[in-house]
Amino acid sequence: MHRIPKEIRELIKDIKELRPSQSKALDAGLLNNKNLIICTPTSSGKTLVAEIAFLNHFLKKKGKIIYTCPLKALATEKYKDFKAKYPQLIVSLSIGDPDTKEPYLANSNIIVCSNERLDSLIRQESPWINEISLLIIDEIHLLNDVSRGPTLEVVITLLKKLNPKLQILGLSATIGNPDDLTKWLNAELVKDDWRPVKLYNGIYTNSEIDFFNEKENIKLEEVSPDSTLNLALSTINENKQALLFVNTRRSAESVAEKLSHRLKHNDELKELSNKILNSLSTPTEQCKKISDIVKKAVAFHHAGLMQKQKELIEENFKSGKIKIICCTPTLAFGLDLPAFRSIIRDVKRFGTLGMQYLPVLEIMQMSGRAGRPSYDTYGEAIIIAKSEEEKEELFNKYLTGIPENIYSKLAVEPVLRTYLLSLISINFLTTKEKIFNFFDETFWAYQFEDREKLHYIIESMLELLKDFEFIVLDKEIKPTKLGKRVSQLYIDPLTANFLIENIQKAQKQEYDDFSLIHLICSTLELRPLLKVKANEYEDIESEVLQYKLLHKDEFSDDFLDSVKTSLMFTSWLNEETEDIILKKYKVPPGELKYKIDIANWLLYSLQELSRLLEYTETARDVKTLRVRMKHGIKQELLPLIKLKGIGRVRARKLFNNKIRTLQHLKIINYEVLSKLIGRKTAASIKEQLGVPIGSLKDY
């Protein structure tokens, strides 16, 4: 500890002694502006290394600090943690939509953000980007991830170029090739195998957890024939907590539901259950489901839940009220939770080649959520095997396996063209030479080394962007106004061009809401589409004839799928309930919500592009459709939906009771209104309309 300057020591006074990896980081130049890759086991204390570094930058007034994470949940956890620990620092959290403006970030000392958000802050040309002196990248091994990696890679390369004095601190899980990362970033490697709390890895079959001589096997009483439930129930019986990992959202929900049927209500959880239920003005079926399950101290957690609900679940797992969370890998990375056990039910996931084994690296990450030093003295990570044969296979693959190497995924085409445009748009890359130089410094170039091929690919993409009229390709390369907006809208240039071509078509040809919906269902962003089943084929094919489609690619394999997906959105816009949509299209509410969010974003992009091209009428049509998409309502409810607290259900109720305008709501008797939508909402509406009814207590 004495090696840390006194001023920093005073701020981390709860820490009595440094861990081996933390001392090694100091030796490697943590306080001397050295770039470091910290490659140490889960829960070994990588965050503290980051904290020491940022306190150093803060105290020496070196500049702004960025702490970037792959997941919103992780960013939120770190933000809360830093804010509570270091009141001296202005800590901000930035995880919102790409187009949100957050001018107050200019005054923050440290911004905790998601990788995607950092990228959008750069694209927005936030004025403080040049002031960043320390970039901390949590879970940097996710460079390997097809969907998250490329953003991170471009952001790192860019910030490194923008600010040559930038200190980079990469926090990584144990990976096969840490040297690659280290050399790429011109960094020092801090490697260590010590974990402060012992994590026992086991495999569960036939009611027994085998720890392979590391620890005595545990024979469980068989309270359920379903091994997943049995393991989860035994954890609860021991008054411990567990994270239970499965491979789909649907499984997360169904396992949590099954588990909840085996447990008793806990009155203490009523309030939480209500909060979760009312996270949306009109609770969805999914809200009801999760709020019911939570009463039994169980939850599910996946990307389809509302942010607020996810946070409530995480907080209440931390406080010990929720005992089991059934989750997709959204909780696999970096979170510091009181899970005594990590239970891994699914070791395979559906990928491009069918069901595939998860990498060792990912299983290690899930396992590592258990046995965290602030909560336990040891932990258990248990994989469920279906048979003795599978047990052996899993043992060889995961318990003795070594983590894989990580590789750049930047070469994926849509990704590359998106970033190329983005870097030109912020006027960072203004000549071909600069573009080549930039890409030569990416992890991709470092690993593949074939510069010539790389330059050829980039050159053909520049031609494409020029053809789209998103850039002017001369000696100097410049973005057009359109290109700049496309980049800020965060859509693939190919999608943007497709939308533009079709808006132009729409000026000469009749179109309606369905045409617009179908247009966005024909983009890459809305993939995967709903699949047309054999028995639906004829119906949909004949229905197609009656639509005024702008884009009709009958030869494409998934043309009919795009029509089916459009029909699902139409159901939503026609105010069909989530239940009916689930029955008709087999889409659970969480997934529907997820698709609606993307549709919303694409409609917003369509609206913006129409506006920019001065197709005012189309822009107006799209805007109306977008509001309807957001709320799932028919056009006639538009005036009512403007009010806070009024969602699709309440708006419909009002409308059917002949209350159809804000003026009517203003003059209607409060008691009558209360009967329809409840006193609290009625009071809030009166207030919003400027006719407050006084204190609620009076009624």
With respect to Mg ion, which residue has the nearer C-beta, 171 or 462?
171
Among 24, 46, 593, 648, binds ligand ATP (CB under 6 A): 46
Q: Shortest gap between Cβ of 46 and Mg ion (angstroms)?
A: 5
* CA gap 474, 88 in Å, rounded: 50
With respect to Mg ion, which residue has the nearer C-beta, 140 or 673?
140
H or E, element range at 76 = helix 72-85
Among 98, 373, 401, 645, binds ligand ATP (CB under 6 A): 373
Residue closest to Mg ion (Cβ) = 334
Q: Is 368 in the site for ligand ATP (CB under 6 A)?
A: yes
Q: Is 492 in the site for ligand ATP (CB under 6 A)?
A: no
List of residues 6+ apart from 193 with CB closer than 8 A: 40, 41, 174
List of residues 6+ apart from 306 with CB closer than 8 A: 279, 280, 287, 593
Beta bridge partners of 91: 110
AA letter at 356: Q
Q: Shortest gap between Cβ of 336 and Mg ion (angstroms)?
A: 7
- Using the rule CB under 6 A, give the single segment among 43-51, 598-606, 658-666, 681-689 that binds ligand ATP: 43-51
Whether 114 contacts 95, CB under 8 Å:
yes
- Using the rule CB under 6 A, give the single segment among 44-52, 210-218, 282-290, 436-444 that binds ligand ATP: 44-52
Residue 319 contact among Mg ion, ligand ATP, none, beta carbon within 5 to 8 Å by kind: none
* CA gap 452, 321 in Å, rounded: 58
* CA gap 455, 467 in Å, rounded: 19
- Contacts (CB under 6 A) with ligand ATP, residues 133-192: 173
Residue 374 contact among Mg ion, ligand ATP, none, beta carbon within 5 to 8 Å by kind: ligand ATP
Instruction: Tell me the HSE value of 491 on the side-chain side, using a 13 A CA sphere.
Output: 30
Q: Shortest gap between Cβ of 369 and ligand ATP (angstroms)?
A: 7
With respect to Mg ion, which residue has the nearer C-beta, 81 or 525?
81
- Using the rule CB under 6 A, give the single segment among 125-133, 370-378, 413-421, 537-545 that binds ligand ATP: 370-378
* CA gap 226, 154 in Å, rounded: 45
Q: Is 494 in the site for ligand ATP (CB under 6 A)?
A: no
Q: List the structure tokens of 251.
A: 């499984």
Binding residues for Mg ion, rule CB under 5 A, total: 2
With respect to Mg ion, which residue has the nearer C-beta, 142 or 643?
142
Q: Is 45 in the site for Mg ion (CB under 5 A)?
A: no
Q: Which residue has the tokens 């054999």?
A: 534
Q: List the structure tokens of 604.
A: 């917003």
DSSP 403: P
In three-state form (DSSP H/G/I as H, E/B as E, the rest C), the secondary structure along 583-618 is HHHCCCHHHHHHHHHHHHHHHHHHHHHHHHCCCHHH
Per-residue binder mask for ligand ATP (CB under 6 A), 327-366, x = binder: -------x-x------------------------------
* CA gap 104, 106 in Å, rounded: 5
List of residues 6+ apart from 2 with CB closer than 8 A: none
Q: Is 41 in the site for Mg ion (CB under 5 A)?
A: no
With respect to ligand ATP, which residue has the nearer C-beta, 25 or 486?
25
Among 149, 170, 304, 334, binds Mg ion (CB under 5 A): 334
Which spans of this chain sit near Mg ion (rule: CB under 5 A)?
46, 334
Which spans of this chain sit near ligand ATP (rule: CB under 6 A)?
15, 17-19, 22, 42-48, 173, 334, 336, 368, 372-374
